[in-house]
Amino acid sequence: SQGHFEGLESPISTGKESNVFSALKKDGTRVMVKIYRLETCDFNRMYDYIKDDPRFLQIKKGKRNIIFTWVQREYRNLLKAREANVSVPTPFTFSKNVLVLEFIGDDGAIAPKLKDETPKNPKDFFDKIILNMKKLHKAGLVHADLSAFNILNYNENPVFIDFSQCTTLKSSRANEFLERDIRNICNFFKKIGLNVDELKIKEQIIKK
């Protein structure tokens, strides 16, 4: 009713927590619509992330409240990342369990995930990922679930997605999450022949 899109087009991905669809706008361009499942979401896991976030200390317990806060959290995290020039989809709006995002792809085809399309120049792609992680860290955030599953390869450039679990550096687990993100990325690129050092990468990310 707000005019963000005319109607859903086709499913992009389906999962236990959410389904993602492409949707057409009046002008023929596309957006992505992420709809969180109210029945099958692991809201205990969601609450475990949210309870340590200083931005959401007033959250009321209850499945629907937690899921709606989770969606709002992803929207706010994406906005903050976008402001810091991190390569992420632009978030347009959210309502309850629905999030509307920029469509990342060409000619109606969504950009592939990194796990499905190895970059032609792994070193260049890796360096771009680390630069984006550094920008995110400088903005006071850590993705907390970064891997080859949550990075799109769009014309040989990384685009980070899935920001609902993204956490502020004030979280007691921020360092643990950052190290896990670095380990996931380094492990993927080691498998495709890159020689990378996790400790040096961490220093590079947190260096002011």
162 is catalytic: yes
Q: What stretches of the chain show up as alpha helix (H) in DSSP?
A: 43-50, 63-83, 122-138, 174-191, 198-206
Contacts of 173 by beta carbon, 8 Å cutoff, 6+ apart: 52, 167
Q: Which of 42, 53, 124, 162 is the catalytic position?
A: 162
Query: Whole-angstrom Cα distance, residue 148 to residue 184?
Result: 8
Contacts of 100 by beta carbon, 8 Å cutoff, 6+ apart: 4, 5, 23, 31, 32, 33, 34, 91, 92, 93, 94
The 10 Å Cβ neighbour count of residue 117 is 14
42 is catalytic: no
Contacts 24+ apart (CB under 8 A), 85-93: 85/135, 86/132, 86/135, 86/136, 86/139, 86/160, 87/128, 87/132, 87/157, 87/158, 87/159, 87/160, 88/159, 88/160, 88/161, 88/163, 89/32, 89/159, 89/161, 92/4, 92/31, 93/2, 93/4
Q: Which residues are catalytic?
A: 145, 162
